[in-house]
Structure 1
Amino acid sequence: MSTTDDPKSATDLRVDPEHKERLLARGEWTLANVQSLSAEIKALAQQASQLDASEISRLDASGAMLLDKLCVQTGQDISDAGLAEQWHTLFKTVAAISEQQLPEDEAPPAWSRLLAGIGRRTVGFWQQSLLNINFLGMIVHRLGRSVLKPGRLRLTATVWHMQQTGLNAAPLLILLASLTGAVVAYLGATVLKDFGAEVFIIDLVTFAFLREFGVLLAAILLAGRTASAFCAQIGMMKTREELDAIRILGLDEIEVLVLPRLIALMIVLPLLTFIATIAGLFGGLLVAVLSLDINLATFIERMEQSVTLQHYLVGMFKAPVFAAVIALVGCLEGMRVSGSAQSVGEHTTSAVVRSLTLVIVLDGLAAIYFMEIGW
């Protein structure tokens, strides 16, 4: 197959009419002719055992890859094929790279790919853990410096984030907690009515919200609502190079952006936990009074007997920890945004998923710990 009408400038691969066991390569073996040359190699490579590349007038990386493939199929070294000296360096470079790649018919088996995937994820998890520890160390250092020099704290930004993350989230949290309290009461009544012990739904709702549901509902709401907001805000600032501007002004982006969000969340999450607990108890109270014929005095008396400071502290101890996790994950993912809208979306999703996962895992570990110590 020729690319021009002049036989001297033709680009093709053909069988030498005088020596049928030899292939003649000529012309410009470049990217523009790769498709036609690939078809000719596939058709002719099995018909000969020798190669003559002396008539190749131009060669690029794409042509060198085809020529290397042809040398492998014919079993001939390029030094014996008569390739012009000026193309030897390019050919050897491309051939060296090609040797490092596995042919398609020698792809690794499925078990090898599975182990490789596990290895990559393990290394990724380890690197992410080191990054989290490094970021946590930076936060502790900046927080300690701000405590020693209170003038460095940005109170206005902290109060603003308290409003955005706490006050604005309270109505939705009250709705969710009260409905959850009602559902827990209904489910408890469904089981306990067979034993004539509907009164114990008061203990169930009280224990559930004081120890678990109050703090967990508040943390889950903030993980979905606030972690994504922190990541998107800081990520968009990074895409607009506002973080670089902060550094140029001689400011610390951790003190300016991260600490106000962290402090605000650590203040408002315990308050939201208290609000969620009260709302959940109120939802259970409505179900008990309106549907289960438990009067208000009985509910309050039974709740006073069940509630102890110990149960309340179990839930409140977890609130600052969950707040720190949510704030740090959201801010860290925002700092990792690379500069595109797609990166902002990916890291925002990662912030929500990781914060939710960590909150639930930590809650499970805390439940086991407090159970083991008898709380």
Structure 2
Amino acid sequence: MNPLPVVPAAITQSTPEALALSGAWTARGLGAIGRQLDTLAVPARSAIVIDGSRIAALDTAGAWVLQKLLQRLRGEAGVVQVRELRPEFARLLEVVDPQTMDQTAPPARAPASTLDQVGRSAVAAGAQAIALLGFVGEIAVAFAGCVARPARFRWRPILYNLRSAGFDALPIVGLLSFLLGIVVAYQGADQLRQYGANIFIADLVGLSMLREFAPLITAIIIAGRSGSAYAAQIGTMSVTEEIDALRTLGIAPLDLLVLPKVLALSIALPLLTVFADVLGVFGGMLMARAQLGVGFGEFLDRFVKAVSVTAYLVGICKAPAFAIIIAVIGCFQGFRTRGGADSVGRQTTRSVVQSIFLVIVADALFSVAFSALDL
């Protein structure tokens, strides 16, 4: 039995602005349409009307060719109207490309003004700040639930994070603190030598390292090292839908992923700060002996007199606040990851930048508060 003959697809142009489509716009009927498309010409910047009432058949191949035709006409003429197209053919075109059936070309968006960009940035920053406050509240509720039921504390993740964020960070924290102590002593040596106040190098190194530099440099290192790792880990789990899997299993992501990191870093950062204090003062001692001739015994004798316990505790008490900021920001940005690997990298970068910024802001607030309290 011979198949029914197929009427080839055709384009009839009665006027430059009017086109009529006819025949079978199917894989079998599109053989001769290519030559007609090549010779088709329409006036620029005009309204083109396409009559689709005589289309006998349409499949996905024909819909794709028709889609390309409409895109070309919109690019050349600007306004294209498709009329009298059978409903089932219109639905097929929408499936192939939902924007194909737009009656007019989308208007070009005017470039945003500087004020508009500032406003959008302010709105986005406000929305993120509100989301961060909500995240902090969820962490507080989860922590209160763990305190009420201590069995909910996950000690293995806490110990693991304590090792990864604390013990494994000792070499880099110690090295940078040691070098910072050397730099502080070296910069102050020339000035003190001019006034014969060599012994006061102990005051300079001790107070600057214990009160400011040691806790701040330690927090910045941990923000770049552990805060970024928190954001990348949780962000990758969000992209791979592991977070949703945990919720499906009845495991609260905050209990498993966030609280252990916050608690571990709150313990590790003060200890790392103490380690940074020791290495920073030791670096200052070496430079004081090399540049100013102040021996270790003389340095330590003056150090004990110049640096009080209050000055030491001022630096230590900053560390838990810095730790909470770093851990919360890292986890928060990890949970905001959407899409693919590029989003993981973007949120990781934001976590580091925001953590360091907020740590420095918190340090400035601490300085103002301690000055007001005369500490």
Same fold (TM over 0.5): yes
Is the 8 Å Cα contact of residues 231 and 348 (structure 2) preserved in structure 1?
yes
Distance 1:370 1:51, change over 3 A: same
Shifted more, 291-300 versus 60-69: the winner is 60-69
Q: What is the CA-CA distance between 1:318 and the residue it aligns to?
A: 1.3
CA distance in 2, matches of 1:344, 1:38: 45
Provide the aligned C-alpha RMSD in A.
3.9
One-letter amino acid matched to 1:246: L
Distance 1:208 1:50, change over 3 A: closer
Correspondence for 1:270: 270
Q: What is the CA-CA distance between 1:95 and the residue it aligns to?
A: 9.3
Distance 1:72 1:219, change over 3 A: closer
One-letter amino acid matched to 2:132: N
Tell me, which stretches of 5 or more residues in structure 2 are unaligned? 1-6
Q: What is the CA-CA distance between 1:218 and the residue it aligns to?
A: 1.3
One-letter amino acid matched to 1:268: A
Is the 8 Å Cα contact of residues 79 and 104 (structure 2) preserved in structure 1?
no
One-letter amino acid matched to 2:152: R
One-letter amino acid matched to 2:170: A
Distance 1:54 1:238, change over 3 A: closer
Correspondence for 1:108: 110
One-letter amino acid matched to 1:45: P
Q: What is the CA-CA distance between 1:100 and the residue it aligns to?
A: 8.1
CA distance in 2, matches of 1:362, 1:297: 36
Q: What is the CA-CA distance between 1:343 and the residue it aligns to?
A: 3.2
Q: What is the CA-CA distance between 1:335 and the residue it aligns to?
A: 2.4
Structure 1 residue 345 corresponds to structure 2 residue 350: no
Correspondence for 1:197: 197
Correspondence for 1:295: 295
Distance 1:300 1:54, change over 3 A: closer
Q: What is the CA-CA distance between 1:132 and the residue it aligns to?
A: 0.9
Distance 1:292 1:52, change over 3 A: closer
CA distance in 2, matches of 1:287, 1:132: 44
Correspondence for 2:43: 45
CA distance in 1, matches of 2:82, 2:345: 50
Distance 1:102 1:259, change over 3 A: same
Q: What is the CA-CA distance between 1:162 and the residue it aligns to?
A: 1.2
Q: What is the CA-CA distance between 1:365 and the residue it aligns to?
A: 2.9
Is the 8 Å Cα contact of residues 214 and 280 (structure 1) preserved in structure 2?
yes
Correspondence for 2:3: none
One-letter amino acid matched to 2:246: I
Tell me, which stretches of 5 or more residues in structure 1 are unaligned? 1-7
Distance 1:36 1:136, change over 3 A: farther
Correspondence for 1:3: none
Is the 8 Å Cα contact of residues 8 and 25 (structure 2) preserved in structure 1?
no
Q: What is the CA-CA distance between 1:283 and the residue it aligns to?
A: 0.7
Is the 8 Å Cα contact of residues 48 and 79 (structure 2) preserved in structure 1?
no
Structure 1 residue 216 corresponds to structure 2 residue 216: yes
Identity of aligned residues (%): 34
Cα deviation code 1:89-134 (max 9, x no counterpart): 789x96995658324xxx525xx34333323322221221122111
CA distance in 2, matches of 1:25, 1:285: 91
Is the 8 Å Cα contact of residues 228 and 351 (structure 1) preserved in structure 2?
yes
CA distance in 2, matches of 1:87, 1:263: 61
Q: What is the CA-CA distance between 1:195 and the residue it aligns to?
A: 3.2
Correspondence for 1:5: none
Correspondence for 2:144: 144
Q: Write out aligned runs for 1:6-25 (5 A).
A: 24=19
Cα deviation code 1:48-80 (max 9, x no counterpart): 999674787479684556667788679xx877x
Give the TM-score taking structure 2 as reference length.
0.77
Q: Write out aligned runs for 1:223-262 (5 A).
A: 223-262=223-262
Correspondence for 1:366: 366
One-letter amino acid matched to 2:107: L
Structure ranking higher in helix proportion: 1
Q: What is the CA-CA distance between 1:176 and the residue it aligns to?
A: 1.2
Correspondence for 2:318: 318
Q: What is the CA-CA distance between 1:175 and the residue it aligns to?
A: 1.5
Local SS of the residue matching 2:217: helix
Q: What is the CA-CA distance between 1:188 and the residue it aligns to?
A: 0.9
Is the 8 Å Cα contact of residues 29 and 56 (structure 1) preserved in structure 2?
no
CA distance in 1, matches of 2:242, 2:327: 20
How many residue pairs match? The answer is 352
Correspondence for 1:185: 185
Cα deviation code 1:174-221 (max 9, x no counterpart): 111111101110011133333333333222111111111111121111
Distance 1:46 1:258, change over 3 A: closer
CA distance in 2, matches of 1:321, 1:34: 71
Q: What is the CA-CA distance between 1:293 and the residue it aligns to?
A: 0.6
Correspondence for 1:356: 356
Q: Write out aligned runs for 1:24-103 (5 A).
A: 24=19, 26=21, 44-45=42-43, 53=51, 57=55, 62=67, 63-64=69-70, 101-103=106-108
